[in-house]
Amino acid sequence: MMRRHSDSCMRAISRIYSYLDGEVRAVRRVRIRLHLRLCRGCERAYEFEQRLLGFVRERVRVDAPPEVLERIRRSVRERTGR
């Protein structure tokens, strides 16, 4: 029984950044959310990562160099025909 819980924790934690970034599908998001509600240890890990990510996003801002932005714009125009 303990093994199952440990595997579930490992899966939840391994996907925590994708979850925080909104990059997981709805079904997986629900599974992770449920696991976080049921597992205090994983919930604490999630809360820490959420705070850390918020801290970094607030304090670290890196502007891309103009030439990089232009390459991105050009690539988008070429792919979309605009």
Domain residue spans of the chain: 2-80
Give the whole-angstrom CA distance, residue 22 versus residue 7: 22
pLDDT bucket at 3, cuts 50 / 70 / 90: very low
21-32 residue pLDDT tens: 899 999 999 999
Give the whole-angstrom CA distance, residue 33 versus residue 18: 13
pLDDT bucket at 12, cuts 50 / 70 / 90: confident
Q: Is residue 35 a contact partner of residue 8, using CB atoms and an 8 Å limit? A: yes
33-70 residue pLDDT tens: 999 999 999 999 999 999 999 998 888 877 888 999 89
Sequence-separated (6 or more) residues with CB below 8 Å from residue 8? 35, 39
